[in-house]
Amino acid sequence: MLFEPFSLASLILKNRIVRSATYEKRADDDGFVTDALIEFYEDIAGGGAGLIISGNVLVHTSGRSVPQQLCIHNDFYIEKLRRLTDAVHNLGGAIIIQLVHGGRQSFPALLGGEQPVAPSAVYDPSTRITPRAMEDREIWEIIESFGDAGRRAMYAGFDGIQLHAAHGYLINEFLSPHTNRRHDYWGGDEERRFHFAEEICRAMLKEVGKDCPVMVKMNADDCIEGGLEPEESLRIAKRLEDMGVCAFEVSGGMYEARNKTVRTEILKPEQEAYFRSAAGLFKKHLRMPVMLVGGMRSRPVMEDVLLKGDADLISISRPLIREPDLPHKMAEGKEKADCISCNGCMKFNKLDVVRCTQI
């Protein structure tokens, strides 16, 4: 099944392998596309993945969480982003842009010394940062910046949008009872915690129109006490589906939960696909396609996930850093990715670019 085509909204994917969003550290210091970034994406597009999701792209300067990150908070960025989408399209690939605001997982050193913003001032022991609770006016500004970014992405030629509502970044922070302690329109109960995602989704669909696929990557589980759990996440996903979101990528964890999103020690098939049971739950109750990400390394596991109906698409990140042509190799008989999940590629601060440190 892995190499069967798949219809995803208006897109026909040539196979069911998705390159999950992966920060590249290849933009320039101002967030513009570089030649090195284009070459990196040409390798992935030429490697055969059915769909590429870009690394997280910044919608507002108050949400910067990593250096040399792609930006889309100004029209200036459109022209060079178009070079990126052209390069992927010229190789027969499809590319979705992932849009993000880093929220409390942003760093003062990347914000000109400013304190990161979040729904509430909840201390993060992993970064030792206490963010500042956002004012109503600031919340609406960020919602608008997501919509504006969506419009720019369309001008830049992307095939769709993915909202990054996972891994403890701003949208996740509003959804999660752990990070959202507000008592106003934006928080207080499940319904109100949903409002930020709902308003972003509404702004996005208005800007990009019904024909543009809008997807969401979301935590099924924050993997932290008092955080989101699969039952509530499923209710959120259903609401997003009713609004017009066309696919859902199931992930989990946040910085504070440490090592739950990007796990190490994936040595046996049983350790692969670590969010599989949550994806199965989502698949059972949603009409829209479900992508599963997290730890898939071998073709038999990928095929089994598809065959048993736990997901429609297999999303992978680290294996494609090591082997961008893994989809082609698997189509020709390779059984298992070379990636050993050592997370050397995650040592952003020590690396000039995100790359495999084993080769």
Ligand X SMILES: Cc1cc2nc3c(=O)[nH]c(=O)nc-3n(C[C@H](O)[C@H](O)[C@H](O)COP(=O)(O)O)c2cc1C
Binding site for ligand X (CB under 6 A): 20-23, 55-56, 98, 164, 166-167, 217, 251, 261-262, 293-295, 316-319, 345-346, 354
Structure tokens at 121: 């001032």
Helix, strand, coil percentages in the chain from 3-state DSSP, rounded to 5: 35, 15, 45
Q: How far apart are CA 47 and CA 92, in angstroms?
A: 11
User: In terms of C-beta density within 10 A (0-12 exposed, 13-18 middle, 19 or more buried), how is residue 112 classed?
Assistant: exposed
Radius of gyration of the chain measured on its C-alpha atoms: 19
Q: How far is the CB of 280 from ligand X (least distance, A)?
A: 17
- Told to judge if 169 belongs to the known catalytic residues of this protein, a careful annotator would answer yes
Q: How far is the CB of 191 from ligand X (least distance, A)?
A: 26
The dihedral through the CA atoms of 114, 119, 120, 124 has a sign that is negative
Q: Which of 301, 286, 164 is nearest to 219 (CA)?
A: 164
Amino acid at 117: V
User: In terms of C-beta density within 10 A (0-12 exposed, 13-18 middle, 19 or more buried), how is residue 83 classed?
Assistant: middle
The dihedral through the CA atoms of 202, 204, 209, 211 has a sign that is negative
Q: Could you tell me which residues come within 8 angstroms of residue 311 by beta carbon, excluding any fewer than 6 positions away?
A: 250, 276, 279, 280, 283, 290, 291, 292, 305
Residue number with CB closer to ligand X (130 or 348): 348
Q: How far is the CB of 249 from ligand X (least distance, A)?
A: 8
Q: How far is the CB of 184 from ligand X (least distance, A)?
A: 28
Tell me, letter by letter, the H, E, C secondary structure of 284-338.
HHCCCCEEEECCCCEHHHHHHHHHCCCCCEEEECHHHHHCCCHHHHHHCCCCECC
Q: How many residues does the chain have?
A: 359
Catalytic residue among 41, 77, 169, 274: 169
Q: What are phi and psi of 38, to 5 degrees?
A: -65, -45
Residue number with CB closer to ligand X (243 or 262): 262
Q: How far is the CB of 266 from ligand X (least distance, A)?
A: 7
Q: How far is the CB of 28 from ligand X (least distance, A)?
A: 17
Torsion of CA 106, 103, 64, 253, to 10 degrees: 70
Q: How far apart are CA 264 and CA 254, in angstroms?
A: 15
Q: How far is the CB of 36 from ligand X (least distance, A)?
A: 15
Catalytic residues: 169
